[in-house]
Amino acid sequence: MAGAQQALGHHKHFVAVAILTAGVAITAGLAPGGSVKANREAALETDSAEQAVERILSATAAPSPATPASSNDITPPLDSVSLPAEAPPEELAAAEPPVPPAPDWKEETVRAGDNLSLIFKRAGYDNGDVHQVVYASPQGKALSRIYPGQTVAFLAASDGSLAGVKHVISPLETVTYQRGDDGLYSAERVIRQPEIRESWASGEITSSLFMAGQDMGLSQMKILELANIFGGVIDFVLDPRKGDTIHVVYEEHYLDGEKYRDGDIIAASFTNQGETFTAYRYQDSDGDVSYYNADGVSMRKAFLMAPVDFTRISSNFNMKRLHPIYKTTRPHRGTDYAAPTGTPVFAAGDGRVIKAGYSRPNGNYVFIQHGDRYVTKYLHLHKKHVKQGQRVAQSDVIGTVGSTGAATGPHLHYEFLVDGVHRNPRTIHKELPKAKTLPSSEMAAFQQSIAPAAQQLASLQSGNRLALNQASADAGQR
């Protein structure tokens, strides 16, 4: 009997060793050969093989009469230990609340000649809906002010009735009208603020300001703004020369990471025939915004140097000029600016229109009185945009270039009179009153305000000089 029990014990011992060895082998086989963690775990299991065998034997051995077995002393087999299972990713995703679908807005673009009735009808709604939104609801009348290119969107309820109207006034402004339980539509206005980024550009004139500006990547409006800033000190028809340089620091407005529109010019410099003119944007203590040079003198002079969007000069000031049509020697008391028909003509300064009419020699004309001493005249206009007695401000469009009256081609004939005497528009500015200057009490704030822009301009100008010097050196080596 004792021999049988001993044989049975040996048999159990061999079975335990076999089971443990197979488990270790399977673990080692499943662990990737390159995994340090897996190999380390397998080695730990192998190192404790003897201890595991003893535990299994103690679990399978018959209890000794002297030491009764306890359930707490029994170690469960390795394959009987269970770990909490993690939920599969599909179940985790299903546990998250579903995202409600976005409202389905039907958009209509406002066309030329459209009204709300037509737009509502295209979207499937009638005049009753128009009345409910515009006239029966507070703030609804604002929807009646629509313009071509804007967007009006419609939201339908589950029963097909009108639940909401969205008026996209611009990329920055949207008004949404939502129907409430009382049937009235409440308005919510959302105004977005663009991201403002600072940019800069430099260029050199090779043919004209416009070509240089385009090469710099400036928009046409930005080029015109630049010309307007310096319009009191530079005649962009006659003054620019090849090699003149331009530097501009300006703002750009961005929406959703894309450029939306140009911002203000912060600072600019124009070097003309070796003389540099600099302008800085500044808001004074009264809240007025204007451009000043580094000394606080306003860039806005009493009169523009050239009152037209120019292309070229057809003739200059000459008191003994042969008239191109009458072929007689007649004084040419002014300057002719040749430009395409329809080119805007500006008021040279603030004043009042004292005459606006037509005559055979002058064609369509406009005369403007500036204070007590000065009168400017604009002849051969294609169209007049002002009437006699009307007040105008500097740079207001008073008409367009044409060829009416005794004219051989489209151009503006511009005259400047002081105390009733014709004066040369090209040189009279030197005798005109000085421009506005900031008061001394505001100069400290002004200098502090323009310091960053002044540093940026200096850097651009320095970079341009380095580039020019390098180009000259390269040309000398060739």
Q: Are strands 289-292 and 275-283 parallel, antiparallel or unpaired?
A: antiparallel
Q: How far apart are the C-alpha atoms of 248 and 252, rounded to whole Å? A: 12
How far is residue 258's CA from residue 275's CA, in Å, rounded to a whole number?
38
**105-191: what CATH class?**
alpha beta
Lowest mean pLDDT among 30-44, 121-135, 232-246, 339-353: 30-44
What is the model's pLDDT at position 397? 95
CATH architecture of 196-292: Roll (3.10)
- Split at pLDDT 50, 70, 90, the class of 43 is very low
pLDDT in tens, 73-98: 444 454 444 445 555 655 555 566 66
CA distances, 216 to each of 11, 219, 246, 248, 253 (Å): 95, 9, 9, 10, 18
All residues at 6 or more sequence positions from 429 whose CB lies less than 8 Å from its CB, including other chains: 232, 301, 303, 305
Tokens of 292: 């000043």
Which residues have CB under 8 Å from 149's CB, separation 6+? Answer: 109, 110
* Dist. CA 465–CA 468, nearest whole Å: 5
Fold identical between 105-191 and 312-431? no
CA–CA separation, 125 vs 148, rounded Å? Answer: 20
Q: What is the mean pLDDT of residues 188-198?
A: 95
How confident is residue 350, by pLDDT bands cut at 50, 70 and 90? very high
pLDDT (0 to 100) of residue 207 = 82
CATH top-level class of 312-431: mainly beta
pLDDT on residue 315? 42
Q: pLDDT tens digits, residue range 137-147?
A: 888 888 989 99
How much is the pLDDT for 89?
58
Contact of 197 with 254, CB cutoff 8 Å: yes
Q: Say whether pLDDT at 57 is over 60.
A: no
User: In this predicted structure, what is the pLDDT of residue 322?
Assistant: 40
Helix or strand holding residue 41 (H, E): helix 36-47
Query: How do residues 367-387 score in pLDDT, each as one tens digit?
Result: 999 999 999 999 999 999 999
Q: DSSP letter at 213?
A: H
From residue 370, give the alpha-carbon distance in Å to each of 192, 326, 392. 42, 32, 10
Q: Any idea where the domains of the chain sit in the sequence?
A: 1-50, 105-191, 196-292, 312-431
* Confidence class for position 318, pLDDT limits 50, 70, 90: very low
Phi/psi of residue 477, each to 5°? -70, -30
Confidence of residue 62 (pLDDT cuts 50, 70, 90): very low
- For the cut 50, the answer to whether the pLDDT of residue 24 exceeds it is no
In the chain, % helix, strand, coil (3-state, to 5) comes to: 30, 30, 35
Q: Could you read off the pLDDT of 208-262 as tens digits, one per residue?
A: 888 889 899 999 889 989 988 998 888 887 788 889 999 999 999 999 999 999 9
Task: Give dist(CA 390, CA 386) in Å, integer.
Answer: 7
User: pLDDT tens digits for 170-186?
Assistant: 999 999 999 999 889 99
Per DSSP, helices labelled H in 70-159 are: 89-95, 116-122, 127-134
For residue 176, what are the contacts with CB-CB under 8 A and spacing of at least 6?
A: 164, 165, 166, 167, 187, 188, 190
- Specify whether the CB–CB gap between 338 and 411 falls below 8 A: yes
Q: What's the confidence (pLDDT) of residue 91?
A: 57
Judged against a pLDDT cut of 60, whether residue 305 lies above it is answered with yes
pLDDT(336) > 90: no
For the chain, the average pLDDT equals 79
Q: Are strands 318-322 and 344-346 parallel, antiparallel or unpaired?
A: unpaired
